[in-house]
Amino acid sequence: MDIPPAPHLHQSHAAIIKRLKRAEGHLRSIIGMLEADRPCVDIAQQLHAVEKAVCQAKRTLIQDHIDHCLEHSVAALGSGDHAALEEFKQISKYL
């Protein structure tokens, strides 16, 4: 029988979720701006704000993962397990 993986939750996840939900609401308002034919400069400004929020959420997630999982990766290498190193390599390409 396969055992499901343990939850992969870090302290930053709650803050990331909050930030992404705020960005989600902001995106909905941008759609409304488009539908209301608001000036493109205003829309671009709002899109830029959402883009920065999502980028910061990604950066926080990756940094948290590196901070908390790198030690596990190094320990796993000592026992010959390279899966943790491969995971680290995979996530680092999103930096």
State the CB neighbour count (10 A cutoff) for residue 1: 2
The whole-angstrom separation of Cα 15 and Cα 23 is 12
pLDDT at 5 over 70: no
pLDDT in tens, 36-83: 999 999 999 999 999 999 999 999 998 888 877 776 667 767 777 777
The better pLDDT of the pair 61, 5 is held by 61
The better pLDDT of the pair 53, 90 is held by 53
By the 8 A CB rule, do 64 and 57 touch?
no
Q: Which two tokens stand for residue 4?
A: 């499901």
Rank 4-8, 53-57, 84-88, 91-95 by mean pLDDT and report only the highest.
Answer: 53-57
Distances (CA, A) of 80 to 10, 23, 56, 57, 76: 26, 41, 34, 33, 6
Q: Which domains does the chain have, with CATH numbers?
A: 13-92 (1.20.58.1000)
